[in-house]
Amino acid sequence: MIRKLLCALFIVASGVQSFAWTDGELLVWINGDKGYRGLAEVGKKFEKELGVPVKVEEPESATDKFQSAAQTGKGPDIMFWANDRIGEWADAGLLKPITVADDFKADFIPMCWDAVSHNQQIWGYPLALEAISLIYNKKYVSGTPPAQLSEVAAFAKALRAKSPNVIPIMWDYGTPYFTWPFLASGGGYPFKQVEGGYDTKDIGVANQGAIDGLKAVVDLINQGFMPRGASYSVMEQKMNSGELAMMISGPWAWANLRKSGIDFALAPLPGVNGNPGKPFVGVLTGMINRSTPNADLATQFLEKYVCTPDGLKTIDNDVPLGVPALKSVYEELAAKSPLVKMTYHNVQNGVVMPNIPQMGKFWSSMASAFQIATNGQATPEAALADAKKNMQK
């Protein structure tokens, strides 16, 4: 009791999250845009039944803080994050590999386990699959939304004739996660997928399909159908205030739209060259810190409380998960929610986000390419050629 009190006093005095272990207590980190309040409710049930407190925190810059703390044998017992960091963290010795029974695995959407596997080992428990969709305001979009980026121009002209102050479409185009699906639609790929992993020497960010996708994005901006310099925060504000017809975002955006009273729906991501948009599929994953002294408790919490129908529904009721990883929960929610069903449609059109360490260079190189191409400093061809060179270094 005294040790716990001293630990609590230290946290209050320091004003930051605790990086120290507490035996018999679980510290959990998750991003602030996820259902952390729902996760805390699952933790309360765990504490009530087993007497083990679960402290849920949502620190800023959580990935940087986790990596820094875990490298010194500290940090949270459990880290919830998308699967794309698994390879980097596993290779650095920060995560504890897990073993799950075949009957447990069989309850999940199969692609989840591929997403959380690296070097023939499993590194976390999947909670949900996430993919971005075209989200549209039904007030401004009647019928079927544009299926191709090239169709947005005609939609925008018709919209402006009726509602000249409404922005046709917006997304955070400088962030690769949101813009890459259009390059992938044309046939671009970060690294060639091969049996058992990725060929990191085969880079497809500058092939003709990727160029076509980026050209289509640049055309939207140059033609004035998407504001130059569009950011996520401005997009969200415009959509929630009824000043935007369509945006590209994920399940985390639904709650605010509902609160704002926007009558919205989802559609497949538009694509290029007659193909659908091909989003990255992220898998929200519960990973166990290799250094935790509470590994058995962490495993029990994840397997018996979080990754259960009750656990996932509790989290989803706080902030929508997208596509719950458990097949039974997905089927239950999809039967009554077109949003969940359409998200899974986009998941099926997409590709699992690679979880290898080399993705770090992909993200930074593509961010630079999108910036210089969309502001006119380089052609899409030149910008993507530079990105490929940077990824090869």
- Domain match, 161 and 191 both: yes
- Domain match, 27 and 175 both: no
What pLDDT is recorded for position 71?
Answer: 96
Mean pLDDT of 309-322: 97
pLDDT bin (cut points 50, 70, 90) of residue 21 is confident
pLDDT bin (cut points 50, 70, 90) of residue 24 is confident
- Domain match, 286 and 241 both: no
Non-local (6+) Cβ contacts of 198 within 8 A are 190, 191, 192, 354, 356, 358
Going through the chain in order, the beta strands assigned E by DSSP cover 26-29, 54-57, 78-82, 117-118, 121-122, 125-130, 133-137, 167-170, 192-194, 197-199, 244-249, 264-267, 280-288, 323-324, 351-352
pLDDT at 5 over 90: no
Domain span at residue 256? Answer: 133-278+358-392
Mean pLDDT of 145-166: 98
pLDDT bin (cut points 50, 70, 90) of residue 23 is confident
Mean pLDDT of 290-312: 98
- Domain match, 374 and 238 both: yes
Output the domain CATH number for residue 110: 3.40.190.10
What pLDDT is recorded for position 19?
Answer: 56
- Domain match, 138 and 177 both: yes
Distances (CA, A) of 192 to 200, 203, 351, 382: 7, 6, 12, 21
- Other CB atoms within a 10 A radius of the CB of residue 300 amount to 16
What token pair was written down for 211? 């160029």
- Domain match, 66 and 88 both: yes
pLDDT at 131 over 90: yes
Mean pLDDT of 50-70: 97
What token pair was written down for 96? 């504890």
- Torsions phi, psi of 214, nearest 5? -70, -35
pLDDT at 9 over 70: no
Domain count, the chain: 2
- Domain match, 146 and 237 both: yes
Flag the least confident range among 10-14, 21-25, 28-32, 348-352.
10-14
User: Smallest Cα–Cα separation from 348: which of 31, 129, 182, 134?
Assistant: 129
- Which residues, in sequence order, are bridge partners of residue 351? 280
- Domain match, 191 and 208 both: yes
What pLDDT is recorded for position 193?
Answer: 92
- Domain match, 210 and 327 both: no
- Domain match, 205 and 317 both: no
- Domain match, 237 and 143 both: yes
Q: What is the pTM of this model?
A: 0.89
Are the C-beta atoms of 57 and 28 separated by less than 8 Å? yes
- Dist. CA 269–CA 271, nearest whole Å: 6
User: Which 3 state secondary structure label does DSSP give 151?
Assistant: helix
pLDDT at 93 over 70: yes
Mean pLDDT of 308-328: 98
pLDDT bin (cut points 50, 70, 90) of residue 20 is low
What pLDDT is recorded for position 10?
Answer: 35
- Domain match, 178 and 320 both: no
Three-state secondary structure readout of 349-362: HCEECCCCCCHHHH
> Mean pLDDT in the chain?
94
